[in-house]
């Protein structure tokens, strides 16, 4: 005599529409995002990133407002009368004027928080698949290895653009509203495409490097140490060798985030004379490092994932 549970144990064929393996990549990305947004640490780090964004957002507004309202006013400073606009010169270092360096500086300052978020995401999205043996389960489905990598890279790309590209686009829209929008959007169209190109360079390079490093070390703590070495230690070492020891500026190429910064400024069409610091390597060398890291990460992923045995 059949029981109510017999119907649940029987094979039930799929009645929906069958889709291609690319949709499998989207499903992997969707599951990866759900795993990350459930972490309280992610929201804490995102709140810190939002503080940097609001600083630039209200900084642009403050500079324009003070310039318009108090352009000719003076205030007493040590017994002398100083224009209010002269007191804002310290903000010129951040270029809060809607220029190409505004968006380049913003993405630069987002770097530290972005690296921490990606290190956490790499351990959660990819490292756990190798640590808990979930990768053979994914690959036993009708998707290829490249679709698995694509799904994980899409998950990483979401966080990269959420912290960098999307806020930069909001700053671009704000700059157009603060100034004469018809003139600004017409004269600064290069910046719009530059932000998108900068975001694409960050997405491709960092997502591939993230997945590759997560496959190599797998666990959270070693992955954080690897990313801290690449994006913190290498930056400090490059600054020490170039600025402190007066070595050739090419030594600064070991700082991957600085290389991406130079590539981004090139996409934005920024003047290289305003780059900070002044001693920067050649632009073609920065492009070579970025392309080389992306290519090496892709080749490493291809080799490691192909070595996974799958039983179907």
Using an 8 Å Cβ cutoff, are 85 and 70 in contact? yes
Percent share of the chain, pLDDT over 90: 21
Please give the Cα distance from 116 to 42 (Å, whole number): 9
DSSP 8-state symbol, 84: T
Give pLDDT, residue 70: 63
Is 148 a domain residue? Answer: yes
Q: Domain total for the chain?
A: 1
Higher-pLDDT residue of 172 and 223 is 172
Q: What is the pLDDT of residues 31-58, one digit of tens each?
A: 878 878 888 878 888 888 899 899 888 8
Q: How does residue 18 score in pLDDT terms, banded at 50, 70 and 90?
A: low
Is 1 a domain residue? Answer: no
Is 103 a domain residue? Answer: yes
Residues 6+ apart with CB under 8 A from 178: 60, 61, 64, 98
Is 12 a domain residue? Answer: no
**Over residues 88-95, mean pLDDT:** 67
Angle at 137 between CA 115 and CA 128, to 5 degrees: 30
> Does 73 score more than 80 pLDDT?
no
Please give the Cα distance from 241 to 238 (Å, whole number): 5
Q: What average pLDDT does the structure give for the chain?
A: 80
Is 71 a domain residue? Answer: yes
Give which of 236, 299, 277 is closest to 93, Cα–Cα: 277
Q: What is the pLDDT of residues 183-233, one digit of tens each?
A: 888 888 888 999 999 999 999 999 999 888 888 887 777 777 888 888 888
Higher-pLDDT residue of 112 and 290 is 290
Is 34 a domain residue? Answer: no
pTM exceeds 0.85, yes or no: no
Please give the Cα distance from 300 to 214 (Å, whole number): 12
State the residue range of the domain holding 143: 39-306
Is 33 a domain residue? Answer: no
* Cα distances (angstroms) measured from residue 265 to each of 9, 99, 286: 59, 11, 11
Is 32 a domain residue? Answer: no
Give which of 251, 257, 256 is closest to 237, Cα–Cα: 251
């Amino acid at each position: 005599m059949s029981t109510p549970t017999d119907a649940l144990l029987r094979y039930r064929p799929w009645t929906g529409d069958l889709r291609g393996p690319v949709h499998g990549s989207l499903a992997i990305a969707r599951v990866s995002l759900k795993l990350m947004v459930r972490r309280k640490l992610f929201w804490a780090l995102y709140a810190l990133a939002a503080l940097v964004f609001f600083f630039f957002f209200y900084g642009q507004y403050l500079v324009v407002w003070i310039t318009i309202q108090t352009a000719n006013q003076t205030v007493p400073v040590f017994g002398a009368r100083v224009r209010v606009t002269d007191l804002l010169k310290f903000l010129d270092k951040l270029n809060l004027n809607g220029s190409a360096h505004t968006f380049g500086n913003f993405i630069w300052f987002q770097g530290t928080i972005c690296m921490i978020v990606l290190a956490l995401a790499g351990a959660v999205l990819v490292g756990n698949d190798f640590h808990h043996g979930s990768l053979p389960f994914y690959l036993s489905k009708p998707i290829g290895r490249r679709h698995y990598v694509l799904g994980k890279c899409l998950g990483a790309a979401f966080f990269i653009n959420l912290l960098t590209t999307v806020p930069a686009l909001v700053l671009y829209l704000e700059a157009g509203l603060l100034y004469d929008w018809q003139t600004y959007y017409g004269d600064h169209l290069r910046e719009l495409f530059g932000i998108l190109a900068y975001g694409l360079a960050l997405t491709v390079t960092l997502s591939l490097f993230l997945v590759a490093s997560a496959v190599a070390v797998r666990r959270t703590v070693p992955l954080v140490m690897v990313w801290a070495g690449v994006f913190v230690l290498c930056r400090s070492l490059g600054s020490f060798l170039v600025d402190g020891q007066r070595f050739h500026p090419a030594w600064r190429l070991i700082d991957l985030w600085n290389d991406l910064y130079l590539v981004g400024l090139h996409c934005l069409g920024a003047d290289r004379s305003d780059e900070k610091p002044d001693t920067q390597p050649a632009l073609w060398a920065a492009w070579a490092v970025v392309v080389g890291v992306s290519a090496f990460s892709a080749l490493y992923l291809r080799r490691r994932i192909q070595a996974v045995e799958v039983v179907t």
